[in-house]
Each structure stands twice: as structure tokens, then as C-alpha cells.
């Protein structure tokens, strides 16, 4: 992006321009995909493009990382090959004997990753209900190095207070990292609220088309141990996205604000419809006044996003029967794409899942909200 006097630029403008530079060699507005894994040195040993080897950096990845940093308002973006690899990079920044505080409710594989991979390394973890900041305060230990937040949480969209939790983490000398996948940087600004870093599964809203797997960490500052560890883990561990993945992700960012605004508007309408349906026990959507942390969501988010979940009266069998009847929603896992998805979450999470058995999770896509509503209505009535 050329330096210009329009500062600070608004989100939509950053989404359209950040990380995009016309190619100086041929003027191409859309970046080329650079597949080369290695880059030629000059006779004096210098690397004119600044690239050495594509595990360490590549023009498409650098452009995508530049855009990520701009959208989250951070100092740098660090891109990975999946959301899990991004989470792993943060856990890897901890050492044996360190302690982390995490939410009881979050993407189930984040906990799975910690328990399966890092328990063996003697990393200690406490899982608490982070919707009550007192629980976070009580869980802090002298060796706590990380407080992890996921808000809204997967799958019940619980809301945790980023500013207050970041303050608790910092008072104890710990990092505060927020998984911002569900909110997107359009609706929630964790770095401005005090978090040290934000993670994303860029597979979701950033990619937006269900055709690329990716993840990232965006840090607030680069002159610190967290950033140094993330970068060395990225370059040495090598869980990096391909040039084509980065190209696809950068291609999707200009439409991010339009997509998620539409998805959010439809989610609001569907949440209200479901809340009034006699076969629905509970709707989990932070935009509803009935949501237990609606006031907090109103305060820390500019809007409530495109995800919702609801519990069908009658438990697992009733919920699975409803999911079996949808005609427009696709029965598939994941979220954030242009197509609406529905899934019986406890089945995906397995036998130890704490998710209520009657819960269906919906990722609202870009279809007309009336069509989606009619689909859910006929599925609930059949
Ligand atoms: C909130 C959240 N974080 C992280 C992940 C993991 O991302 P990925 O599937 O890209 O590894 C997911 C995946 O569903 C998620 O929902």
C-alpha cells in the first residue's frame, strides 16, 4: 500500500488494500503466486528481494502477514498451515513447568492439543469458566505464563471479558492471547482491549470459501520473547501455509467485511426466529438480550457475528433428526464459509463432549436469510 494521508484507514479500506502492491516488474494489480522454494543471491551474497528459502518467508506469505497485522491492528502477523498450528505455536512458546489458564469451553481440539501433546512436556493447564473473571484470578499461579481466551466460545458463544482478563494476566507477568476466529477483527479488537496476541483459524472467515486451511497469530508488539519464539517456531518447525494458500487467503480478505456483515445480519434474524420456536429449548447467540453475557458482548464487540447454536427439545435424537431434515444448510463441520452449515456438535466432539446433547451449531452463510429461515422452519416442523 502506498503511504497516503488517509489515516487511520477504516477496516474496509485496509481489507481492500493491505498487503497488496502492484508488481513492479509488470504492473499486475493481482499478485502472482511465487512457487519458488529458493531465491538467488547476488555475487556479493545479498538477497535483493529479502527472501532466502520459502520455509522462512515467501512473497505471498509476507503479503498475507502484512494484511493480517493491518486488519487486527497489530505489529506483525505470523501465518501457519492451520489454526491448530497457530495455537500450537503459542503453546510452544511456553516451557516445561509453565502454567496456562484456559476456558472450560473452547474449540475442543485446542484442549485436545494441549492435553495430548503438552501434558507429556509437563506444561500445566487449568481450565476455568472464563465468563467469570474471578475464576481466572483464582486460577493464577506464580508460574502462570499464559491466559488464553476464546470469545465468543465454541460452541455456546460464551463471552469473556478480554480487557479485565488481560489485566489479570499482565499483573501476574503472563501473556494474554485471544482466539478471535469467531468474532473476526471487524467485530472484536482484542489487541486494543489489552491482549498481547490474537490467533485465528484463517480456514474460517478469513478464507471465507471453505477451500483453504490456515491459521495465524497477530502480535501487538515485536520486541519481546513471545514474538521471537513464534517466528523461530514458524521458520524452524515449518508448519507454514503454501504460496497458493496465502494467495487464496489474501484474495479473500477484501470481501471479509461484506461477507461477515451479511452473515451477522442473517444470524441475528435466525436467532430471533429460533428463540420464538416451540421446539427450541435455548438459543446461544450473544446478540439476543436473553444471552447471559449480552451486556458484555455489547460493550466489547461492535456486532455479534455469524455463528449461533441452539438446543432442540428432546436431546440428541431430536437434534439429529432436525439436522437430517435440512435442505439448504449443509450437514458439515467448520464455519465461516459462504455456505450455511449445521452440525450436531456433541457427535463431532466425541463421547467425552461436555456440549449439551441437543445442541446444533450453525455457521450462517451468504444465502438469503428468508431461505435459511424457511429451511430451519421446515426441518423443525417435520
Ligand atoms: C475457534 C477455533 N479455533 C481454532 C480452530 C482450529 O482451526 P483449524 O481447523 O484451521 O486447524 C477452530 C476450528 O474449528 C476453531 O473453531
Q: Does 4 reside within a domain?
A: no
Phi/psi of residue 142, nearest 5 degrees: -55, -30
User: Do 156 and 201 fall into the same domain?
Assistant: yes
Instruction: Indicate if 107 belongs to the active site.
Output: yes
- CB-CB neighbours of 5 under 10 Å: 4
Task: Please give the pLDDT value at position 7.
Answer: 67
Q: Which region, left, alpha or beta, applies to residue 350 given φ > 0 means left and ψ of -120 to 50 means alpha?
A: left
Residue nearest to atom 16 of ligand 1 (CA): 107
* Residue 137 CB–ligand 1 contact under 6 Å: no
Q: Does 6 reside within a domain?
A: no
Q: What is the CATH classification number for the domain harbouring 128? A: 3.40.640.10
Q: Give the mutation target among 80, 81, 82, 84 for probing the ligand 1 site: most ligand atoms within 8 A of CB.
A: 84
Cell of 83: 489454526
Cell of 331: 450437514
Catalytic position from the list 179, 196, 303, 375:
179
Q: How far apart are CA 337 and CA 37, in angstroms?
A: 30
Q: Which residues contact 216 (CB under 8 A, 6 or more apart)?
A: 65, 68, 77, 78, 79, 80, 86, 199, 200, 202, 206
**From ligand 1's centre to the CA of 27, what distance in Å?**
36
* Residue 249 CB–ligand 1 contact under 6 Å: no
**pLDDT averaged per 10 residues in sequence order, the chain, 382 residues:** 65 97 94 97 96 97 98 98 98 96 97 93 96 98 98 98 98 98 98 98 98 98 98 97 98 98 98 98 98 98 98 98 98 98 96 95 98 98 88
Burial 129-168 (b: 16+ CB within 10 A, else e): ebbebebbbebbeeebbbbbbbbbbbbbbbbbbbebbbeb
Q: How far apart are CA 180 and CA 159, in angstroms?
A: 12
**Residue/partner pairs of 190-195 with CB below 8 Å, 24 or more apart:** 190/72, 190/149, 190/162, 191/72, 191/73, 191/74, 191/218, 191/220, 192/73, 193/162, 193/163, 193/166, 193/300, 194/162, 194/163, 194/166, 194/167, 194/170, 195/149, 195/162, 195/166, 195/220
Q: Give the mutation target among 91, 107, 248 for probing the ligand 1 site: most ligand atoms within 8 A of CB.
A: 107
Q: Give the mutation target among 80, 102, 109, 130 for probing the ligand 1 site: most ligand atoms within 8 A of CB.
A: 109
With CA atoms as reference, report the closest residue to 152 among 11, 280, 333, 284: 284
Q: Does 1 reside within a domain?
A: no
**How many CA atoms, within 13 angstroms, populate the side-chain half-sphere of residue 148?**
27
Number of domains in the chain: 2
Q: Which of 254, 281, 314 is the last residue of a domain?
A: 254
**Angle 12-18-24 (CA atoms, 0-180°, nearest 5)?**
135
Q: Does 2 reside within a domain?
A: no
Q: Which of 254, 274, 307 is the last residue of a domain?
A: 254
User: Do 180 and 65 fall into the same domain?
Assistant: yes
**From ligand 1's centre to the CA of 178, what distance in Å?**
13
**From ligand 1's centre to the CA of 84, what distance in Å?**
6
* C-alpha to C-alpha distances, 1 to 49, 72, 176, 207, 247, nearest whole angstrom: 17, 16, 30, 21, 17
Instruction: Indicate if 132 belongs to the active site.
Output: no
Instruction: Indicate if 285 belongs to the active site.
Output: no
Q: How far apart are CA 176 and CA 173, in angstroms?
A: 10
User: Do 62 and 27 fall into the same domain?
Assistant: yes
pTM of the entire predicted model? 0.97
Residue nearest to atom 9 of ligand 1 (CA): 83
- CB-CB neighbours of 31 under 10 Å: 20
Catalytic position from the list 204, 220, 231, 268:
204
Q: How far is CA 193 from the centre of its chain?
A: 16
Task: Please give the pLDDT value at position 8.
Answer: 78
**From ligand 1's centre to the CA of 190, what distance in Å?**
17
Q: How far apart are CA 234 and CA 248, in angstroms?
A: 20
- For residue 162, the enclosing domain spans 11-254
Q: Which residues contact 308 (CB under 8 A, 6 or more apart)?
A: 157, 267, 270, 271, 274, 283, 284, 285, 361, 362, 364
* Residue 103 CB–ligand 1 contact under 6 Å: no
Query: Is the distance from CB of 78 to CB of 65 less than 8 angstroms?
Result: yes
**Angle 191-149-85 (CA atoms, 0-180°, nearest 5)?**
90
User: Do 302 and 226 fall into the same domain?
Assistant: no
Task: Please give the pLDDT value at position 203.
Answer: 98
Which ligand 1 atom sits closest to the C-alpha of 87?
4
Task: Please give the pLDDT value at position 4.
Answer: 52
Instruction: Indicate if 179 belongs to the active site.
Output: yes
Q: Which of 221, 254, 287 is the last residue of a domain?
A: 254
Amino acid at each position: 500500500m502506498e503511504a497516503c494521508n488517509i489515516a487511520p484507514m477504516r477496516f474496509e479500506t485496509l481489507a481492500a488494500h493491505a498487503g497488496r502492491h502492484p508488481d513492479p516488474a509488470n504492473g499486475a494489480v493481482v499478485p502472482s503466486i511465487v512457487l519458488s522454494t529458493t531465491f538467488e543471491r547476488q555475487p556479493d551474497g545479498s538477497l535483493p528481494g529479502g527472501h532466502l528459502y520459502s520455509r522462512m518467508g515467501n512473497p505471498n506469505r509476507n503479503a498475507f502477514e502484512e494484511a493480517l497485522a493491518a486488519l487486527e491492528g497489530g505489529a506483525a502477523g505470523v501465518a501457519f498451515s492451520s489454526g491448530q498450528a497457530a495455537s500450537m505455536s503459542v503453546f510452544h512458546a511456553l516451557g516445561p513447568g509453565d502454567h496456562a489458564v484456559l476456558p472450560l469451553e473452547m474449540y475442543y481440539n485446542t484442549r485436545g492439543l494441549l492435553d495430548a501433546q503438552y501434558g507429556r512436556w509437563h506444561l500445566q493447564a487449568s481450565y476455568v469458566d472464563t465468563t467469570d473473571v474471578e475464576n481466572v484470578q483464582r486460577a493464577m499461579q506464580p508460574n502462570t505464563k499464559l491466559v488464553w481466551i476464546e470469545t465468543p466460545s465454541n460452541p455456546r458463544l460464551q463471552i469473556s471479558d478480554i480487557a479485565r482478563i488481560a489485566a489479570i494476566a499482565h499483573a501476574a507477568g503472563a501473556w494474554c492471547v485471544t482466539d478471535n476466529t469467531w468474532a473476526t477483527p471487524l467485530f472484536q479488537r482484542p489487541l486494543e482491549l489489552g491482549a498481547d496476541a490474537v490467533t485465528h483459524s484463517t480456514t474460517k472467515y478469513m478464507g471465507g470459501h471453505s477451500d483453504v486451511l490456515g491459521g495465524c497469530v497477530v502480535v501487538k508488539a515485536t520486541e519481546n520473547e513471545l514474538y521471537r519464539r513464534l517466528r523461530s517456531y514458524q521458520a524452524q518447525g515449518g508448519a507454514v501455509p503454501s504460496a497458493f494458500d496465502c494467495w487464496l487467503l489474501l484474495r479473500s480478505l477484501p470481501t471479509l467485511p461484506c461477507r461477515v456483515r451479511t452473515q451477522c445480519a442473517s444470524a441475528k434474524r435466525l436467532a430471533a426466529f429460533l428463540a420464538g420456536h416451540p421446539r427450541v429449548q435455548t438459543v446461544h447467540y450473544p446478540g439476543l438480550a436473553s444471552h447471559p453475557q449480552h451486556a458484555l458482548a455489547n460493550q466489547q464487540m461492535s456486532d455479534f457475528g455469524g455463528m449461533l447454536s441452539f438446543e432442540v427439545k428432546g436431546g440428541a435424537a431430536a437434534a439429529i433428526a432436525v439436522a437430517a431434515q435440512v435442505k439448504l444448510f449443509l450437514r458439515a463441520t467448520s464455519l465461516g464459509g459462504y455456505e450455511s452449515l449445521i452440525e450436531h456438535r456433541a457427535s463431532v466432539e466425541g463421547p467425552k463432549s461436555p456440549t449439551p446433547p441437543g445442541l446444533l451449531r450453525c455457521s450462517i452463510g451468504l444465502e438469503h436469510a428468508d431461505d435459511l429461515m424457511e429451511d430451519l422452519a421446515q426441518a423443525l416442523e417435520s
